[in-house]
Structure formats: C-alpha cells, structure tokens
Structure 1
Amino acid sequence: MTDFSDKYSVLRDFFGHRAFREGQEPVIDALLSGRDALAVMPTGAGKSMCYQIPALMLDGITVVVSPLISLMKDQVNALIQSGVRAAYLNSSLTPAQYEAAIANASRGMYKMIYVAPERLCTASFRNLARQVKISMVAVDEAHCVSQWGQDFRPHYLRIHEFLEQLPYRPTVGAFTATATDQVRQDIVRLLALRDPFCVTTGFDRANLYFGVVHAKDKYTETKAIVRENEGSCGIIYCATRKAVEEVSEKLTADGIPCTRYHAGLSPEERKQNQDDFIYDRVNLIAATNAFGMGIDKSNVSFVIHYNMPKNIENYYQEAGRAGRDGNDAKCILLYSGRDMQTNRFLIENSNENPDLDDETLEKIRERDLYKLRRMSDYCNTSGCLRQFILDYFGEKRKCSCENCSNCSGETELTDITIEAQKILSCVYRLHQRNLRFGAVVVSGILKGSGSQRVKQFGLDTLSTFGIMKDETNTKIRTIIRFLEAEGYLTEGEHSTLMLTRKSAEVLMQKNTVMMRLPKKGRTKRSETAINKEQILGFDKTLFERLRKLRARLAGDAGLPAYTVFNDASLREMCVMMPLTQSAFAEIPGVGKVKQERYGRYFTTEIQKYLREHPEKKNFKPEALGESGSLTDIIKNGAESLQGTDSELSLTQLSDDILTQLGISADKKPLKEAIQSWLINENYLTEKIENGQKKLAATILSEEAGIVEREKLSSINRAYTAVLFPKTAQEFVFENLGEILGS
C-alpha cells in the first residue's frame, strides 16, 4: 500500500517518475502545508503534477476547475490509467451520468473531481460541496479569470463566490502557462489568494524551434514543412474557416491526408476529426484556434501558423502544443502584411463580451490593438525570437538561443540604412505638409504610384516620390514594419506612421540600421528540418512495433494512445530494452498500476523482437542482470573509452561517450550526471551571468585537466567556455563508475 505521507512514493508509484521537475516540489510543499499557491510554468513543465500529488496526499477531495471539456476527459482518463480515482462533471455527461458521478463523489469514491467553472454554482454541486470535505481547489488555466488575459471567461469570476460559500475555506492553487505581470496580479486579487506562494519557472521552452517566414506563397511553404516532417504529428492553425478548408483540401489533394476542425462543422464531425487526430488515425489537422485548448497530445512535432495570431499569448499557447514530450519540435509562423489588416478588422469589430460597458470595451480594444502591434513586432524583429517572447512575459534573461530563425544562421544582418532613410524622409516630408498616412500610401509614394489618393493630395510632387521605384511594394512594406518593430516609426491614430526620436538619428546620419534578411543561397529548409531518425535516436522498427502495441491496447480500452504511455516512455523502452517486470518498472512514466497492467505486453514484444533480430543484442542487456539499465551499460563499457585530441564541451563529451559505446540515447541525463558530480567534487562551480547559470573553473579544475577558453558566439559575442582536453576526458572516463553510482 502506498505511503501517502511520502510525496516521492506518490510520484514514483502513480506517475512513474523518480525526480521532480524545476518548480514542482516547492509548489507541492506549499499546498501540502495549507498555503495558497500561484504557479506560472510553461506548457509541458508538469503543472498538473503540482496539484495531483497533493490531492492524493490530502484528506478529502480536490476540486480541479478547468474550462476545457476535452482536457478534463484526457486528464481523468490518464489518472485512472495511473490508478487514481477521479471523475469529471461537465455538459458532456447525460443527466443520469452526472447524477451518478455526484452520488459516487458524495460516497467518497474519488480523490479528484474535475469540474467546469459554470458548474460550481449549481444547486447539485453546492449540495455536494456541503456533504464532502474539499481539501483543495486547483484552478487550471487561471489566466481566464482576468479580462486582460487572452482568454477571459466570466464564469471564472464566480470561483471566489463558490469558495466563500463553503463551510471552511480549502487551500487554493492557481496554475497557468501564459500570464503577464498584470494578469498574475489579477489572478491573486480575483481568486482572493491568501499570502500565496508564487513561482514562475520561466517561459522558455528550450526544445522548441521558433521561426518566422515572410512567405509569398503560404500554401507552398506549408506543404514543404509538412513533407519535411512526414510521419510526424502536426497542427496547422488558420485564422478563418475558409483558410482551414482551403489548406486541408489542397493537402489532401496533394496526397497528404489532413483533417480539419472549425466551428462551422457539425458537432459530430468536429468530434470525429478531433478523435482521428488524438487517436493517431491521422497525423495532420488544419484548425482554427478553437482547436487544441483541451488537447493534451504529447507527440505533436510541429505547429504551423498559417496566419499571424492576434497576440503573443495566443501564439505561445498554440505553438506550445508542440514538443510536450520534451523532444525537439518546430513552431513556424507564416507572415504577411495582410494578417495585420485582418486581425485589426476583427479587433475593431469585435463584441465578444456584450455584458461589459462601452468604456471597458473600448479599453479592451485598445489593449488588443497594442498586443497586435507587439505580435507584428515579433514577426519583424531582427533579434532573437525566443528573447522577444521572454521579454514580453517579463522574464529578465538574456540569451542567444541558436534555435530560432534569427539566431540559427538562416538570416544575416544587412545594412538597410539607405532604404530606412528614404522611408523616414518620406514620412518627414508628409509631416511638413501636415499630412499623415499609413504604410500603404507611404510605400506607394516611394514606389512612384499613380493611384488616385497620391494624385488627390499632390503626393507625386514630394521629393521622395519614386525614389524606391526599383523595389517591390512588398519589400518596402516589410522594411516599414521592421522600422516600427525597432522603434524608428510608431503608429498614430488610424494606423498612420509617425517619426520617433530614433528616426531623427538615422535621418541625421548618426545611426545605421541593420535588418536580418534571408541569406543569399541559404541552406534549403530540408537540410535544416527536424530529422525524425535523429530525434528518436533508437531503432525505429522497434519503436513502430511498440506504437502499434500501444494503439491496440488503447483501442481495446477506448482511450487515446498517449494516455497508456507517451512517446517518451516508448523511446526509453527502445533504448533500455527491458526484458523483465522489474526492468520495465525503471522506465520513466511507468508507475505501479501501469507496470501491472501493461508490463507483460511490452516486455514480451521486446523479447520477441530481439529473438527475431539477434543482431540487435550487441549490447547484451541480459548480461547486465535484471535491471538491464542504460547506466549499467555505460559503467561496464567505461574501460574501452578513449580520449580525443580535441577540446570538447561537456555536451560534446557526453555525446562522445555514448557514440563510442554504440548507444543511441538522449545525452542530457549523462551530461547532467557528470556536471553534478564535478560540481559536488569542486572540480567545477556554477555562477550567475546575465541571469543565467554558467559553468566555471575552480582551483581543482587544473588537477582534472579542465580548462577555460575565450570563445566567440555565432553573433560575435565573447564568452568563456569550460572545455575538456584529452586528459580531462580520461579523468571523466576513470570516474564514470563513481559518477553514475558504483
């Protein structure tokens, strides 16, 4: 029987993990101590674990408030698969099912109840709340309580009312992935959190590649990305139903099966199409942003935004549906100036909250237009895209990520000072005549347009008329948007262009303007696309066999495949090749219930595969005893390792060890183990530099052969690197037994 006083036992026995992720443990400790908590963690960082573990350890029931029916179903199904007694209450249940769930809850049959916010104030649920002990209320997607958040839901404002009417106040935890500082303050105030423990683990998703493509032909670009990631799961977000239909029809006609999802479809077709995607019957779906909010599908490898979203919050949340399994994934935004016009029209003509007064509605429109401009700035910046996102959410950390289209060498800084001076001069000449126009008219003047508006206002007599006639309108407008993003221009009333203090420096030739443009003869996208074989890092044939086994087991139970095991667990099985039940229990994501329920199926399949492919037994896992673990393989092969004359980084050294031993596996755990040991033994230390942890040498580094070298990054920024020459490599090899535990 599980010892519920031990959070580590709960983590291991129910969820199959041996260690907490960053930020989880202090939030769990706060909730267990009875203190309210607010956790802002990126998608995939394990927010749900922060309230699920306390829920299993506290007396009584935990109520989880969630706005998303499909997410409730997924999470409850996953909990049941892990041996947790849980249920959900929402509009998808029939009256009989709802009453049965209420009755079971009142008899103490559940540890967790997921409920839609509008259900909290119903008579039946309030009656239940008076009968049972509610030890904790967890508010998921907590940003929905703020009208300044990207997804305001009025029913969230009634959560505080529900709490006030309980016989006693339970501990309250609030959780979200995307919240600006203002929204975080709203969450604390509107949920009336009491002295909350607040943690923000950061908004960075290091495994996500961010790219912006200024696409002339969006469909051709989309098809190329999909082809490069053939066999992987992907979502294509479109701004309109028409675009969804167009993209899905064209892809299907081109031999790429693609389903669709938008509000214009019947409820039956929406459910069928969503299930086809969730249950891996189809790998690709084109959808409006109504899709995915409640989808916990972990193996999405790429997300394409066919149109620019209205704000960065929505973009980051939608893009964040990629790479939830921790594997590398791509988030590509296809941009055109028309996206800005479409979104501005939608915002200015929106009336999503008819209950609000005119003054509040106007403030919301002003806020939304500001957020739209920031979204456009993201699409036009020459800086690091990841840095832009982190800055937007208030995370003060400098980075050159090398994992976005602006940092990865696909673009190069180009001097556009002359072009900028021409554009700024045109705006200045208009101001001299007390005229204000937007980007379309300004680009027309510079191009030498003979349009009616140009002639009507005598703009063809300006000295700047036609001075960029050899450039395309698209290029001129792209540079204008870039100048806005970089603060050389700003928008006035009715989207007219206005000069700033920075623009004066350019006009007076005191400053140069550099813009990132695609490299001439740049690397083809197919050469830089995600290589699925590289991501998997193991025998693909076995992986596909395990996926089919998972699909069959999930189908028999009527569940999405990833609620049985996610792809990350399957990959570990392919690396570790567990042949016994005890070895299977060591796989991350395998708790006691899943071991008992599925262990024999997967170990039997692996044994069968190895009998059919004896050449795959070169590492002889059966000779390593019952565990057959990757750690044992590395320790037993340490004596055969040889150093290289090159100075290696810690990442390169870890990769080299695995390569020499013929192991295809994620190098991160090995790297972390070596780094931790070197720090504990004082051969290395950590220091904070620009808000980031950096490795540094100590007085004992020389003894281990470790050196520091001055290096230049790809953007010519100097930094100090810790490197391992041949003697340091051999020092690590000699101590691998101790590093990995003797």
Structure 2
Amino acid sequence: MKLLSKDINTSDAETKDTCNNDKYHTPEQALKILFGYDSFRAGQKSVIDSILAGRDAFAVMPTGAGKSVCYQIPAVLLPGITLVVSPLISLMQDQVKALNEAGVPAAFINSSLSEKDYNETIRRARQGIYKIIYIAPERLATESFLTLAKSVPISMVTVDEAHCISQWGQDFRPSYMKIVEFVKTLEKRPIISAFTATATETVREDIVCTLGLQNPFTLVNGFDRENLFFQVDKPKNKEQYILKYISEHSGDSGIIYCATRKNVDNIYELLKSKGISVGKYHAGMSAVERKKMQDDFVFDYTSIVVATNAFGMGIDKSNVRFVIHYNMPQSMENYYQEAGRAGRDGLDAKCILLFSPQDIVINRFLLDHKEMQDLDPADRETVRERDARRLQVMERYCYTTECLRNYILKYFGENPEKPCQDCGNCLREFETLDMTEAAKKVINCVYEAKGRYGRQIIIDTVAGAKTARLEEIGAVRYKSYGVLAGTNKNLLRRLIEQLVLEGYLRVGDYQVLKLGDISGLKNPEASVSIKITDEDKQPEKAAKTKKKAKSVETLTSSGYKLFERLKKLRLEIAREESMPPYIIFSDKTLIDMAAKKPSSKPEMLDVSGVGENKFAKYGERFLEVIEEYRREVG
C-alpha cells in the first residue's frame, strides 16, 4: 500500500517548515488558510479555545457539524504532536489525505501499513515531521510505538468515536481501554480531548469517567441536522419503492442499508439487473472485494452502495444525497449514525426508513444471537435488557405520527418547542380515528393475559384468530377473544403503540405487555385516538420541492450549467490524483463557486471551502473553466 504520509510531496526539511508555518497564529487564521472557511460553526470555537488553554475537552456534535476541525486546528497551533485515536481505517485514510491536501503534515498507523511503511512513518514521526498522527487503539500498546511516544513531545491525545469506550454505548470496543493505559505511561500527561456524534447522558458520563478527563470543557451541541429530511414509509413492495426512488433521483449518490447479507445480495442484484451503478458491502465478502466496493463508492465510480451496517463507519464521503434503510435498525443510536452519513457537506439529503413488522422479528433474532462471550453473565443480561429497550424505541419511531425529527431529538435529551414542519410526518396528511372503545377491549385482553404475552398474541386474541398457539395458551377462552374481529391488524398495532405512549400499557421484559395506569380511562370524557394515513399519499413531491430550493436550485440555469462543468473538472482531477472527488472540493464549494464565478485568486479564496493550499494546487484550473464558460455565455 502507498504510504499516505508521503503524499505531502515535500522533503523532510520542507515538511518541517510547513509544521512551523508563520502564516497562521490564531484559530481563525488557520481555519481560513488551511481549510478556506471564514468562520467557525456553532460550538467549534469554544472547544478549540479550551484546548489551546490547556484544558481537557469533551464534545458531542452531530455528524457533519465539524468535529475534526475542533482538534485539527489546535493540533497545528500546539507545539508537539497530536495523536488521534480512531478505530476506523477508512476514516484515517480520508482524514490524512484531506490534511495533506490542506498543507498539514499528517500520517496514520494501523494494520493497513506494511512493515516498511510503518517503520518509515515512525522514523519521520521521530524527526518531528508530523503534526497529527492517526492511530488505531490496539497500536498504542506496541513496544515500538511506546518507545516513540517517550521520545517525542505529545501535546494532545484525541479520542474520536469516544462512545466506543463506554460499555453502554452502541459500539463498545475493548481495545479503547488501551487509551487509558497508554496515557498513564507518558511522563507528562497531554491534553485529552474526546468527540462523538451520538451519546445519551449515561454514555456521556461514562466516557468522562473512563477516560479520566480532568475538569473538561464539555459541549453537547444540538443533535439536529437541519439539512436532513426524515421519513418513514411502509410500502407493500420495498424493492419497487427503491427502484422508483432511484429513478426519480438519477445521479444522486446514496446508501441502502439492509439488516442481513441476504437482503444486501438481493437488492444489489436487482439494481444491477436494471443497469444501475451499484456496489455492495457485507462481512461475507473478502477483504479485497470489500475494499474495491468501498473505493468505487468513495471515488464516485459507483453512485449507490447496498450494505449491512458494517459499511460507512468513518467514510468521510460528503456528497451522499440519500440513505435508505431497507430494514429498521436495532437502535436510535445506530439509525442516527447511519442516516447521518447523508448530507455531510451541509446540503440537503434524505433519510428514509422502510418499515414492516417483519423488521422487528429479524432484529430480535439478530439480538438473540449477538456475541457477548467477553461479558460476564450479569452484564449479558443487562445488555440484553438495554438492547430490548433500544429496539422498542425504534419500533415506536416507525409507528409514531408525531414529528420524526422531534422524536429523535427528544431521545438524545433535547426538548424542541414545536414540530419541524419539514419531515415525512409533518408534511403528511393524517386522519384522526377515535378508538376509545377498542382501546378498552385491548386493555381487558392484557388484563386477562396477566402480563404474560406480547403484542402479537394480544392482537390475534382480540381479532379472534384461529391458531394453535391461542388454543395452547387458552386465549380462545378469554372474554376478550374475538371482540375486535374484522378490525385491521395494522390499526390494532397502532392502537397498542398509542396505549403504550400514553402510559395505559407498558412493555416488560421480553416485550410482554402489562397494564399501566388505566385510571384515566375511567373518566367518561377520556378518549384514545390514533392518526392514520392514506398510504397512497406520499409527501415526496412536497418535500422535493421544498428541499431542493435550499441547495443546487439556488443557482440560476446558467449557474447550474457551470456547476456541472466544475463537477466534471473535479472528477478529472480526482482521477489524476487517485483521490475521492469530495476531498478536492465539496459540492457545497462548487455550488458557491458557480454562484460567485470568481475571476481572480482573491475572489476564489472568498469561496467557501477554498484555502490557500488548495488554490495553489487547483485554483487556476477552476478559474480557467469559469473564464471559458463566461466567454461562451457572454
């Protein structure tokens, strides 16, 4: 493999000069010169200032909010090396490429390096070549790296994907405990900063405690990603839904997540048979196959990838315009992280979850067979209970008729004041259906069942289903058996979910239904209503018009033609440089470029995302295309 540290294209001496660049002395100067941005995003500056003041920091910032800038800016301003601990090889590669492109000497150390490349990276690190080194957690404990760490000044240790250190996080990795052990070996304790995109309050507290952060500056930035459009649909045919969506969004880059390898293979073959540019990714493929599929997607050789949730961690591809979940994920943390891979450039993107009750069955099976050999029996039971609660949260998300964005934000501890008016539920027309009498009959059935059975048994009982299971447990002899015969079972599922939401029923261990506080229903004026939709009525058109107005559609027709030419040039350069197109310039930068039509270096540097180093490498070529287009249109 090519050693990315040499992509700087400078000699060791030249690289040292870059490390001590006199062009920037403040965070604002570094932001503009290195990355081409005029101002920081919300929360970034306060985290950076705290780190530069020598204080530990912990930040929870949603995907796309600019976490990397919060440690990269201090890293170039602090005197020594910054180590960034990450479990994600693809993220390291992307970040190092982007940093070297911006003029920041950086390298990574992980299992993808050959012994020769590893030794060369260590040699250059010992010489003080790098400002930032990305490293896999298990590499911290190797003898060669411990020797290096004692011979070079380490100003900061940054923990990326910090939720991985918490047993209560959705992606606990035992190897992250090596970070704590590593810091203890250092003669002088460096600043420690930690970052994650999704963490509940319990996980946040665990991260701070486990990492031993000392009086950290803490930022819990808003979890809201305003550019993402959330939608839950329940199509009768998911495959046809996906084909229709892709045909209406031709050319858009997207990810389709499936719960099983079999589903990945089926959807991949379907799309491929229709001539769609598509790749696939799951653990059943060889490492070589997975690497090729991933690179094809990142480098825009394929526009769509169908994958299990193993795909996407750390892939900093900014122009993903949609993420479709073919199956419901197992937790809100997983869903928000996976959906958050859309629209990282800040432009509008869609996050669509295709739900069917079978998804719950699939996920329960997967959770029942989850590997937990490393945990003691007591912890295994705790984890199982936690997983069951998280699955229930996702099920409610799929059934809720309230604002989807608010549902997500409330889960992560925020309290939005009003509906967003910009999600699938907010744009969908609902009909309110009074089901008070049916609710009482369902509650009577739960009472007769004595809290021993789950939703399906209760639904089948009140619906009067003739099954061997109901005969076996004696449910056919309940007074409530058949009292709601003929009622649509989907409505009954919605009704039960509403009863749980209102507290009349509660969900116990193993998803059994138990009575909650039913005193409110004794009031003659009490009512239970559910909202239903016309499944044929989709919010797609309304959403599409509204969302596009915020991105490419802000350009004039002439501007849009220029944008397409700039994209073509970007792809040409990406092929020459063997680099993902979005690392050259993001779509957002090209849109701003097409709108402003710069004709000189100062004007080009005024484009969002164009820094001095990138202008030096690519600026003139983009100015030539703009000037050529300007002459053509007069």
The TM-score with structure 2 as length reference comes to: 0.92
Letter in 2 for 1:160: V
What's the CA shift for 1:225? 2.5
Equivalent-residue separation in structure 1 for 2:389 and 2:499 (angstroms): 16
Identify the match of residue 513 of structure 2 among 470, 490, 497: 497
Confirm or deny: 8 A CA contact 2:385 2:509 kept in the other structure: no
Letter in 1 for 2:418: C
What's the CA shift for 1:580? 1.5
Question: Which structure exhibits the higher relative contact order, with contacts defined as CA atoms closer than 8 Å and separated by 6 or more residues?
Answer: 2
Partner of 1:6: 26
Letter in 2 for 1:492: G
Equivalent-residue separation in structure 1 for 2:565 and 2:529 (angstroms): 51
Partner of 2:338: 318
Q: 1:251 to 1:531 in 2, by over 3 A?
A: farther
Confirm or deny: 8 A CA contact 2:422 2:543 kept in the other structure: no
What's the CA shift for 1:381? 2.0
Partner of 1:678: none
Partner of 2:419: 400
Partner of 1:85: 105
Identify the match of residue 529 of structure 1 among 544, 550, 557: 544
Equivalent-residue separation in structure 2 for 1:15 and 1:296 (angstroms): 16
Letter in 2 for 1:344: R
What's the CA shift for 1:175? 0.5
The within-5 A match list for 1:426-505 is: 426-431=445-450, 436-501=452-517, 503-505=518-520
SS state of the match for residue 604, structure 1? helix
In structure 2, list runs of 5 or more residues that go unmatched.
Answer: 1-20
Confirm or deny: 8 A CA contact 1:4 1:56 kept in the other structure: no
Count of equivalent residues: 609
What's the CA shift for 1:419? 3.2
Q: Deviations over 1:370-424 (max 9, x none)?
A: 1111121222223222111111111233231012222223434433333323322
SS state of the match for residue 231, structure 2? strand
Equivalent-residue separation in structure 2 for 1:318 and 1:440 (angstroms): 29
The within-5 A match list for 1:658-697 is: none
What's the CA shift for 1:504? 4.3
The within-5 A match list for 1:572-651 is: 572-614=592-634
Query: Which piece of structure 1 moves more, 141-150 or 276-285?
Result: 276-285
Letter in 1 for 2:601: Q
Equivalent-residue separation in structure 2 for 1:247 and 1:481 (angstroms): 30
Confirm or deny: 8 A CA contact 2:296 2:302 kept in the other structure: yes
SS state of the match for residue 205, structure 2? helix
Q: 1:613 to 1:4 in 2, by over 3 A?
A: closer
Query: Which piece of structure 1 moves more, 155-164 or 410-419?
Result: 410-419
Q: Deviations over 1:110-143 (max 9, x none)?
A: 1110000111111111111011100111111111
Confirm or deny: 8 A CA contact 1:207 1:328 kept in the other structure: yes
Partner of 1:196: 216
Confirm or deny: 8 A CA contact 2:24 2:33 kept in the other structure: no
Identity of aligned residues (%): 47
Q: Deviations over 1:313-342 (max 9, x none)?
A: 111000101111111111111112222222
Equivalent-residue separation in structure 1 for 2:263 and 2:145 (angstroms): 41
Q: Deviations over 1:571-630 (max 9, x none)?
A: 00110011212211111111110111111100100111122222xxxxxxxxxxxxxxxx
Confirm or deny: 8 A CA contact 2:348 2:547 kept in the other structure: no
What's the CA shift for 1:523? 4.8
Identify the match of residue 96 of structure 1 among 116, 135, 140: 116
SS state of the match for residue 50, structure 2? helix
Confirm or deny: 8 A CA contact 1:120 1:159 kept in the other structure: yes
Q: 1:124 to 1:517 in 2, by over 3 A?
A: same
Q: Deviations over 1:77-125 (max 9, x none)?
A: 0001101100000001101001100000000111110000111111111
What's the CA shift for 1:464? 2.8
Partner of 1:669: none
SS state of the match for residue 303, structure 1? strand
Equivalent-residue separation in structure 1 for 2:487 and 2:583 (angstroms): 54
Q: Deviations over 1:136-159 (max 9, x none)?
A: 111111110001000101111111
Partner of 1:368: 387
Equivalent-residue separation in structure 2 for 1:254 and 1:168 (angstroms): 60
Q: Deviations over 1:436-455 (max 9, x none)?
A: 32222222222221111223
The within-5 A match list for 1:144-163 is: 144-163=164-183
Partner of 1:623: none
SS state of the match for residue 529, structure 1? helix
Q: 1:381 to 1:89 in 2, by over 3 A?
A: same
Query: Which piece of structure 1 moves more, 26-35 or 211-220?
Result: 211-220
Identify the match of residue 383 of structure 1 among 392, 402, 416: 402
The TM-score with structure 1 as length reference comes to: 0.79
Equivalent-residue separation in structure 1 for 2:181 and 2:58 (angstroms): 19
Q: Deviations over 1:151-208 (max 9, x none)?
A: 1011111111111101101111101110111111111111111110001111111111
Instruction: Please give the root-mean-square deviation of Cα atoms over the aligned residues, in Å.
Output: 1.9
Partner of 1:635: none
Confirm or deny: 8 A CA contact 1:228 1:529 kept in the other structure: no
Partner of 2:572: 552
Confirm or deny: 8 A CA contact 1:378 1:485 kept in the other structure: no
1:176 matches 2:196: yes
Confirm or deny: 8 A CA contact 1:229 1:532 kept in the other structure: no
SS state of the match for residue 579, structure 2? coil
What's the CA shift for 1:5? 2.4
